[in-house]
Amino acid sequence: MARNVPDDGKPSRNERIDAAEASGETGGLIETSVTTEDSDEHSTPGRTIIESRGVDVFYDDVQALRGVDMEIPENRVTAMIGPSGCGKSTFLRTINRMNDLVDSARVEGELRFGGTNVYDEGVDPVALRRRIGMVFQSPNPFPKSIYDNAAYGLKVQDKTDDIDDRVERALRDAALWDEVQDRLDESGLELSGGQQQRLCIARAIAVDPDVLLMDEPASALDPVATSKVEDLIADLAEEYTVVIVTHNMQQAARISDKTAVFLTGGELVEFGDTNEIFENPEHDRVEDYITGKFG
Amino acid sequence: MAGGTAEPAEPPESAGMTGTEEVSRLRGTLFEAVTLGATVFGLLMVGVLLLYVVNDAVRPLSADPGWHLVFFLTLVVPSLSVAAYCYTREGPAGEVAYATFGLPVVGLLVGAGIVVVFLEVVSVADWFGLALALVAAAGAIELHRRLRPYAALERLAVLIVAPLVAIFGVPALSVDRTLATPLTGTELFTLSFSTPKLLPGVPELFTSLPVLPLDWLLLVVSLTLPVAFAFGRIVSRRREDDRGRLETVAAAGAVALVGALVAPTVGIDAAHWVVLATTTLLPLGVYLEGVVRERAGLAGLWFPVVVVAGTLVGALVVETVGFAGPDPWLDWGFLTSATSRSPADAGIYPALVGSILMLVVIVVSAFPVGVGAAIYLEEYAPNSGPLGTFVTLVEINIGNLAGVPSVVYGLLGLAIFVRTFDLGNGTVIVGGFTVGLLILPIVIISAQEAIRAVPDSLRQASYGMGATQWQTIRNVVLPRALPGTLTGTILALGRAIGETAPLLMIGAAASVRTPPNGFFSRFSAMPRQIYSWSSEIQPEFRYGVLAAGVVTLLVVLLMMNGTAILIRNKYQRES
């Protein structure tokens, strides 16, 4: 069974979720007033930004996802949990078309991002990935300097105006600036595992994407580093829509507003508010899973 | 052995564990002994051969015993003891001793190579013009990048056109063609015009100047200062300030200038001094600055001092007492003169230059093609479908090509480059292309392996950032795969420089008196020269001169392999 919620002075899960709900109901104004500095972004927290309708994914003849329907709300943390091989990572990679890189993968159904089906013929997967950032399971910084890592996305996307400021802001947002500001020239590989993962998050948010996909971002980290990354995710949700895949149910409970439970066979069994899922799941199998009877 | 009886050598302590049986290790021990034997046998054979060759080439026994004794006492004993002290007592001192001795040696060899190029292939003024042209082209590309940062396709065109225009200018165009109908042969019209040369290239402009600066001055500007600028980065980084770079450039410039003024008075060409100082003193100075700054392993500095002092003292003693030194085949005269009828005057210089020029052609032709093919096969080629099967077939056959005998490649080169393209019988470029074809499969395979070793997570990270495939390959895959590719290529070049059979087939000269003065002139390479010495009638050729040639070839080879190892180690430490 996974470890207990650390007693580190953070509000307990229920309090946090209540708070999140409260801000969700009244927070339209509050949050937009916070984010008005990004004047070109008209984000409305809670509005559906990604909508999945009957998404099937096949690897050759093996079906990895079966008819997934889901609405992912803007500026919220949506968690996807489930046992290994249940298709939650596949779904994540379907959103930004990373599955295109796998020759045998085939996607059916509709996946709408801001109203457009991302699998329409006219959609350029590279352009799509520039709006949907991704953080991977194990930290994978480039063998370049810390600065070059954070600036990578800006350089490949030709966003090179005031690049130094953008890099600094990304590293600050990823809660890494204080630790690395004197050593930006050093290799990103010299950082600790947790720092590397925060560098990868900084790299992803430096280009200001609309959505941040995270594929078990804390699974390769120790508990201290994990809690730092979790705090970071909570902060990121103020500016970004975060979709996170996790193995760790406590983690999903701590940080997410919405939770999707995938069970074996690539089926989305239940999707709803996190506290609903954890306190009063509709399906027995989901209850068995989150109480640790299997998985 | 098959009985597997308990081994008596098992230590008795382990038998103290009650109720455990002893496990036989007899077969394992035997196997270990056999593998050790195989290793030792191989090394011993090569060692004996090398000993014979070196003995023939250097002939140490032709010296007086007194000569050996003097140098043993003044040079070998002191330097060995200093080296032993450095390695055993002080960790970093050993490395310092090794580097301060090795850097000047390697620097001198590289410098000598560059001097040879300036003597035989390209004049200093031409080189300077070329350098100016490349700087101009780089400036044009950078200007385009600033002015139109998003025009990627246009920049590709600029990238290709700018260097060409800078080097060659816009050449005169003349067209004289008659267009006829294919069947009846009726003449339709004749297109005939010619334009004057529109724009001369930068090198041409430069060399046509009425007064050219002195050669050595050109070299200081085009060689010493840029190299010092690059090395200065190391100094700056080590000292964590920006002045280090400036100071390095200033110091290097000053040393080159003062030396160039002094050198002619002692009989050294000023331009040669500038080259040698750049390749030898500059790296040494940068290294010494670091050693002195960190004060680590200062004792190692004694090693080169002891070696130089020992050599001088030994030479002095031998001179005064009158001991005769050895009379080696491999000496300065061998390296700097052409082959001759008399064994005593024979040298390898033209073949050495020929080999180096051929190597240049090989690198320029085989490296880009090989790396390009590897990138396509690993990154772009489909893995599945009918095209995927075809790609798999291609990959398998590249592996087979690596095993095709070199004489077959010689035949191929003869048919394609000599007969079909008419590039000349036994010219440098034909030799280079032919041997380049020969090592192409090795380059492709090593580059493929290096690219395959780039972790997929890095590619995914790059794609996840919204990078295109080209950006991913350029920024992530290639930098990471470069050291492995370079190592493989240098090892392949080591094979290339020793190839004889293809050179025989394409008609490389058995022996030439003058080194090739360009890529289209006839040449001989070291292995070809060695081969022709092996069939001379006079035994001195077959035993002495040939051995000296083999040692020269092996030293060049060892240096190349050493470079490959250095590159590998450097990048292994970094990643």
Q: Is the dihedral of CA B515, B521, B527, B529 positive or negative?
A: negative
Q: CA nearest B379: which of B457, B480, B478, B482?
A: B478
All residues of chain B having their beta carbon less than 8 Å from the beta carbon of residue A203 are: 461, 465
All residues of chain B having their beta carbon less than 8 Å from the beta carbon of residue A207 are: 465-466
Per-residue pLDDT band for B19 (boundaries 50, 70, 90) equals low
Q: Which two tokens stand for residue B52?
A: 């014979």
Which range in A170-174, A260-264, B244-248, B449-453 is most confidently predicted, on average pLDDT?
Answer: B449-453
Lowest mean pLDDT among A15-24, B74-83, B217-226: A15-24
User: Would you call A126 and B466 a contact, using CB atoms and an 8 Å cutoff?
Assistant: yes
All residues of chain B having their beta carbon less than 8 Å from the beta carbon of residue A153 are: 465-467
The radius of gyration computed from the CA coordinates of chain A, to the nearest angstrom, equals 19
HSE-CB for B61 with a 13 A CA cutoff: 4
User: pLDDT value at position B435?
Assistant: 95
Mean pLDDT of A58-80: 89
Distance of alpha carbon A196 from alpha carbon A205, whole angstroms: 14
CA nearest A95 in B: which residue?
B464
Rounded to a whole number of angstroms, the distance from the CA of A131 to the nearest CA of chain B is: 8
Count Cβ neighbours within 10 Å for each residue of B319-341 and write b for 16 or more, e otherwise: eeeebebeebbbeeebeeebbee
User: Would you call A152 and B150 a contact, using CB atoms and an 8 Å cutoff?
Assistant: no
Distance of alpha carbon A125 from alpha carbon A136, whole angstroms: 18
Check CB contact of A104 with chain B, cutoff 8 Å: yes
Distance of alpha carbon A31 from alpha carbon B17, whole angstroms: 72
Residue percentage of chain A with pLDDT more than 70: 84
All residues of chain A having their beta carbon less than 8 Å from the beta carbon of residue B463 are: 98, 101, 129
Planar angle of CA B207, B210, B213, nearest 5 degrees: 70
User: Would you call B466 and A130 a contact, using CB atoms and an 8 Å cutoff?
Assistant: yes
CA nearest B467 in A: which residue?
A156
Is the pLDDT at B35 greater than 90, yes or no? yes
Q: How many CB atoms lie within 10 A of CB B176?
A: 9
CA nearest B480 in A: which residue?
A143
Q: How many CB atoms lie within 10 A of CB B37?
A: 10
Spatial CB neighbours of B145, under 8 Å, sequence gap ≥ 6: B155
Planar angle of CA B278, B283, B286, nearest 5 degrees: 125
Check CB contact of A153 with chain B, cutoff 8 Å: yes
Is the pLDDT at B433 greater than 90, yes or no? yes
Planar angle of CA B488, B489, B492, nearest 5 degrees: 90
> Whole-number mean pLDDT of chain B?
85
Return residues 180-219 of A near B (CB < 8 Å).
Answer: 187, 189, 200, 203-204, 207
Distance of alpha carbon B396 from alpha carbon A264, whole angstroms: 40
More confident residue, B15 or A35: B15
Spatial CB neighbours of B47, under 8 Å, sequence gap ≥ 6: none
User: Would you call A136 and B574 a contact, using CB atoms and an 8 Å cutoff?
Assistant: no
Could you tell me if B83 and B97 are in contact, meaning their C-beta atoms sit under 8 angstroms apart? yes
Distance of alpha carbon B406 from alpha carbon B423, whole angstroms: 20
Maximum Cα interatomic distance, chain A, rounded to a whole number of Å: 54
Could you tell me if A133 and A87 are in contact, meaning their C-beta atoms sit under 8 angstroms apart? no
Distance of alpha carbon B111 from alpha carbon B106, whole angstroms: 8
Check CB contact of A60 with chain B, cutoff 8 Å: no
More confident residue, B7 or A237: A237
Rounded to a whole number of angstroms, the distance from the CA of A137 to the nearest CA of chain B is: 9
Q: CA nearest B287: which of B114, B564, B88, B98?
A: B98
User: pLDDT value at position A41?
Assistant: 46
Structural domains of chain A, with CATH: 73-98+123-290 (3.40.50.300)
Per-residue pLDDT band for B573 (boundaries 50, 70, 90) equals low
The radius of gyration computed from the CA coordinates of chain B, to the nearest angstrom, equals 29
Mean pLDDT of A59-74: 89
Query: What are the backbone angles phi and psi of residue B535, rounded to the nearest 5°?
Result: -110, 15
User: pLDDT value at position A23?
Assistant: 40
User: Would you call A140 and B575 a contact, using CB atoms and an 8 Å cutoff?
Assistant: no
Q: CA nearest B59: which of B314, B330, B348, B347?
A: B330
Q: Which two tokens stand for residue A108?
A: 């059916």
Which range in A6-10, B140-144, B168-172, B239-243 is most confidently predicted, on average pLDDT?
Answer: B140-144
User: pLDDT value at position B527?
Assistant: 93
User: Would you call A153 and B465 a contact, using CB atoms and an 8 Å cutoff?
Assistant: yes
Mean pLDDT of A91-119: 88
User: pLDDT value at position B575?
Assistant: 52
User: Would you call A129 and B457 a contact, using CB atoms and an 8 Å cutoff?
Assistant: no
Is the pLDDT at B15 greater than 60, yes or no? no
Q: Show the DSSP H helices in B178-301 as ranges.
A: 202-207, 215-219, 225-239, 243-262, 270-276, 282-294
Condensed to tens digits (0 to 9), the pLDDT of residues A249-261 reads: 888 888 899 999 9
Could you tell me if A31 and A22 are in contact, meaning their C-beta atoms sit under 8 angstroms apart? no
Q: Which CATH number fits domain B335-574: 1.10.1370.30, 1.10.3720.10, 3.30.360.10, 3.40.50.620?
A: 1.10.3720.10
Check CB contact of A143 with chain B, cutoff 8 Å: yes
Condensed to tens digits (0 to 9), the pLDDT of residues B45-71 reads: 999 999 999 998 888 888 888 888 888
Per-residue pLDDT band for B286 (boundaries 50, 70, 90) equals confident
Distance of alpha carbon B244 from alpha carbon B290, whole angstroms: 11
Rounded to a whole number of angstroms, the distance from the CA of B289 to the nearest CA of chain A is: 22
User: Would you call B461 and A133 a contact, using CB atoms and an 8 Å cutoff?
Assistant: no
All residues of chain B having their beta carbon less than 8 Å from the beta carbon of residue A141 are: 461
Q: Which of B457, B467, B480 sits opposite A140 (nearest CB)?
A: B457
Mean pLDDT of B407-415: 94
User: Would you call B149 and A200 a contact, using CB atoms and an 8 Å cutoff?
Assistant: no
User: Would you call B384 and A104 a contact, using CB atoms and an 8 Å cutoff?
Assistant: yes
User: pLDDT value at position A202?
Assistant: 92
Distance of alpha carbon A70 from alpha carbon A110, whole angstroms: 11
All residues of chain A having their beta carbon less than 8 Å from the beta carbon of residue B455 are: 140
Is the pLDDT at A50 greater than 80, yes or no? yes
User: Would you call A207 and B465 a contact, using CB atoms and an 8 Å cutoff?
Assistant: yes
Strand partners, A258: A78, A273
Could you tell me if B546 and B533 are in contact, meaning their C-beta atoms sit under 8 angstroms apart? yes
All residues of chain B having their beta carbon less than 8 Å from the beta carbon of residue A143 are: 458, 479-480, 574-575
Q: Show the DSSP H helices in B299-427 as ranges.
A: 302-321, 332-336, 349-375, 385-401, 406-413
Mean pLDDT of B429-440: 94
Is the pLDDT at B232 greater than 80, yes or no? yes
DSSP one-letter code for B23? P
Count Cβ neighbours within 10 Å for each residue of B107-135 and write b for 16 or more, e otherwise: beebbbebbbbbebbeebbebbbbbbbbe
DSSP one-letter code for B541? I
All residues of chain B having their beta carbon less than 8 Å from the beta carbon of residue A200 are: 461
Distance of alpha carbon B88 from alpha carbon B299, whole angstroms: 12
CA nearest B383 in A: which residue?
A103
Q: Show the DSSP H helices in chain A as ranges.
A: 13-34, 88-95, 125-131, 146-156, 163-173, 177-180, 193-205, 223-236, 249-255, 274-279, 284-290
All residues of chain A having their beta carbon less than 8 Å from the beta carbon of residue B233 are: none
User: Would you call A138 and B457 a contact, using CB atoms and an 8 Å cutoff?
Assistant: yes
Check CB contact of A13 with chain B, cutoff 8 Å: no
User: Would you call B475 and A152 a contact, using CB atoms and an 8 Å cutoff?
Assistant: yes
Check CB contact of A123 with chain B, cutoff 8 Å: no
Torsion over CA of B431, B437, B439 and B443, rounded to 10 degrees? 130
Q: Give the mutation candidate from B241, B242, B457, B465 for the A interface (greatest A CB count, under 10 A).
A: B465
Planar angle of CA A90, A92, A97, nearest 5 degrees: 85
- Intervals of CATH 1.10.3720.10 along chain B: 335-574
User: Would you call B465 and A204 a contact, using CB atoms and an 8 Å cutoff?
Assistant: yes
Rounded to a whole number of angstroms, the distance from the CA of A147 to the nearest CA of chain B is: 15
Condensed to tens digits (0 to 9), the pLDDT of residues B311-336 reads: 999 889 888 888 888 888 888 888 88
**Sole residue written with tokens 């065109």:** B157
All residues of chain B having their beta carbon less than 8 Å from the beta carbon of residue A142 are: 458, 461-462, 475-476
The number of angstroms, rounded, from the C-alpha of A221 to the middle of its chain's C-alpha atoms is 16
The number of angstroms, rounded, from the C-alpha of A151 to the middle of its chain's C-alpha atoms is 20
Distance of alpha carbon B478 from alpha carbon B376, whole angstroms: 12
User: pLDDT value at position B44?
Assistant: 95
Rounded to a whole number of angstroms, the distance from the CA of A100 to the nearest CA of chain B is: 11
CA nearest A142 in B: which residue?
B458
Distance of alpha carbon B339 from alpha carbon B336, whole angstroms: 10
Q: How far apart are the first and last CA of chain A?
A: 10
All residues of chain B having their beta carbon less than 8 Å from the beta carbon of residue A131 are: 466
Distance of alpha carbon B274 from alpha carbon B260, whole angstroms: 6
User: pLDDT value at position B8?
Assistant: 52
Condensed to tens digits (0 to 9), the pLDDT of residues A10-48 reads: 444 444 444 444 443 333 333 333 333 343 445 567 788
Could you tell me if A171 and A117 are in contact, meaning their C-beta atoms sit under 8 angstroms apart? no
Mean pLDDT of B83-96: 79
- Count contacts between A and B (CB, < 8 Å): 76
CA nearest B481 in A: which residue?
A143
Q: Which two tokens stand for residue B483?
A: 């050291």
CA nearest A203 in B: which residue?
B465
Q: How far apart are the first and last CA of chain B?
A: 47
Is the pLDDT at B306 greater than 80, yes or no? yes
Check CB contact of A23 with chain B, cutoff 8 Å: no
> Whole-number mean pLDDT of chain A?
81
Condensed to tens digits (0 to 9), the pLDDT of residues B346-405 reads: 889 899 889 988 998 999 999 999 999 999 999 998 887 888 899 999 999 999 998 899
User: Would you call B460 and A126 a contact, using CB atoms and an 8 Å cutoff?
Assistant: no
HSE-CB for B458 with a 13 A CA cutoff: 23
Torsion over CA of B128, B132, B137 and B141, rounded to 10 degrees? 130
Condensed to tens digits (0 to 9), the pLDDT of residues B505-535 reads: 998 888 788 888 888 889 999 999 999 999 8
Check CB contact of A140 with chain B, cutoff 8 Å: yes
User: pLDDT value at position B17?
Assistant: 55
Distance of alpha carbon B371 from alpha carbon B373, whole angstroms: 5
Planar angle of CA B193, B195, B199, nearest 5 degrees: 160
Distance of alpha carbon B337 from alpha carbon B321, whole angstroms: 31
Rounded to a whole number of angstroms, the distance from the CA of B101 to the nearest CA of chain A is: 31
DSSP one-letter code for A137? S
User: pLDDT value at position B447?
Assistant: 95
Q: Helices B77-89 and B302-321, interaxial angle, to 10°?
A: 170
CA nearest A143 in B: which residue?
B575
CA nearest A128 in B: which residue?
B466
Q: CA nearest B103: which of B303, B388, B330, B347?
A: B303
DSSP one-letter code for B427? B
User: pLDDT value at position B574?
Assistant: 57
Q: Which of B383, B465, B575 sits opposite A152 (nearest CB)?
A: B465
Distance of alpha carbon A1 from alpha carbon A293, whole angstroms: 9
Mean pLDDT of A273-284: 87
